[in-house]
Structure 1
């Protein structure tokens, strides 16, 4: 009896301190676009307008709820909140992130502290088209 074995190869970037990353990503919130550039990372999201670049007026959002950061060569959401974040990639099921890092790729949306309702005005959309070492 022969078994078919399949494998997935993952190419991983080595994060060296002086490496520059080329990021093509943006957040969209209440009709406004926020470009995510290496120069403005970490990009803070939460209720506190004195430290956050994207302010969300919600009782379930922490003052400094989460950040978009570059970690190990990957752009992602780092949740530091009390209530967690819910992330949805395309048509996939939602993922709850609480005090962890989740890499972002492609496009999707996330919500601070509560489940995703696609009609919610506090839904944050994201689009990541390129992450890699700058040439």
Structure 2
């Protein structure tokens, strides 16, 4: 019989495997989930804010439309109506820009959180493997 160890013996490989810090691995995953929850909150808050703002915008547009209808007497010049239409269009563009800015702000906040968490994951992964 030979003294050589079998290549199929798992004990041969046990000492070659790197140590794994299980607690650190769970902590990293916990932090990942916390980041995802924070991102979810950002988008939930955005949805609430946008719903509230769009409701306000619709009410404002409806009120302006009603006011326009009440002031029409048939004697106004077409140029007067065009001024009202221009003001309404400017307001609609400003509202659209506000909505876009709200979305971009939330998106930037969410991306920032995810990028920071990803960078921390690389550092933590080095520590987990010993």
Same fold (TM over 0.5): no
Q: Which has the larger radius of gyration?
A: 2
Q: TM-score, normalised by structure 2?
A: 0.20
Structure with bigger strand share is 1
